[in-house]
Amino acid sequence: MIKNLAIITNTNSVNSDLWKVHCNQVRKYFKEPHYVFSDTFNTSIKIKKFIPYNKEEKFRTQFLSCIGQIEEEYCLYLNEDYLIYDKPDYKKLQEYVNVLEGNSCLSFIRLAKGMDAYDIPFSNTLQYLDCRNNYFFSQTASLWRTSHLLLIHKYGPDLHIAGKVMNEQFEVAASDVARSLGIQGLYHYDGESKRGTHHYDSKVFPYTASALVKGKWNLSEYGTELQKLKQEHGIDFSKRSHC
């Protein structure tokens, strides 16, 4: 168990059919406290704590009201369609939390490589994420210094996470906020294969990024992994279309 680490999952009732498999996989592989942020939740699913938000508010305000209740110094950020499909590398995860603890200038470590064009090594398996990256802030599976994740939402514009217009998406606007706050981050890459168009697999944290694409099961990228989870947890693919 990693000291001072919380696992947080941001979700909403639209994706409630993923809660059971997501939370069961977190509980299968982790002993750290697991918090779920949502408008509603199935309380029969075992987690540390359900932290509700007002579904009438925008994403930024929703998340800010929840993250402020996390007492652990570090957090592992997840969405509900980030499904862990294999055993994580706990030793490496502890090493990465130690990196954050020993380097106060660092705010986060992404657990998988995205479309990052720069090669600026920090260690054998960590690279600096260039702050000029359009998605310098991103909702990907990452280890965060909890207080810094809170600050980005505190000073960020009150927007939804996504939308048709790019500059009206919190995930886009928050990159400028992160830069203005002097946020610095790293990402993990250890020679993993590319998965789909925009991201790579992760040896340290094997997960589906993402299991859903525009609300459809992402069987084109994670068919093998999702079929295995279907057998283990009884996922009903017929409730959604797939791509």
All structural domains of the chain, each given as residue ranges with its CATH number in brackets, are 5-239 (3.90.550.10)
Residue with tokens 């990159």: 175
Whole-angstrom distance, CA of residue 67 vs CA of residue 75: 10
The answer to whether 164 and 75 have CB atoms below 8 angstroms apart is no
Helices (DSSP H) in 113-218: which residue ranges?
A: 146-155, 170-180
Whole-angstrom distance, CA of residue 106 vs CA of residue 11: 26
Q: Which of 29, 64, 28, 27 is nearest to 48 (CA)?
A: 27
- How far are the Cα atoms of 78, 202, 217 from residue 225, in angstroms, in the given order? 18, 14, 12
Strand extents, DSSP E, 12-160: 34-38, 49-52, 74-79, 108-110, 126-128, 142-145
Whole-angstrom distance, CA of residue 192 vs CA of residue 205: 11
List, for residues 20-79, the tens digit of each pLDDT value: 999 999 999 999 999 999 999 999 999 999 999 999 999 999 999 999 999 999 999 999
pTM over 0.75: yes
Tokens of 46: 């075992």
List, for residues 118-169, the tens digit of each pLDDT value: 778 999 999 999 888 878 898 899 999 999 999 999 999 998 876 655 666 8
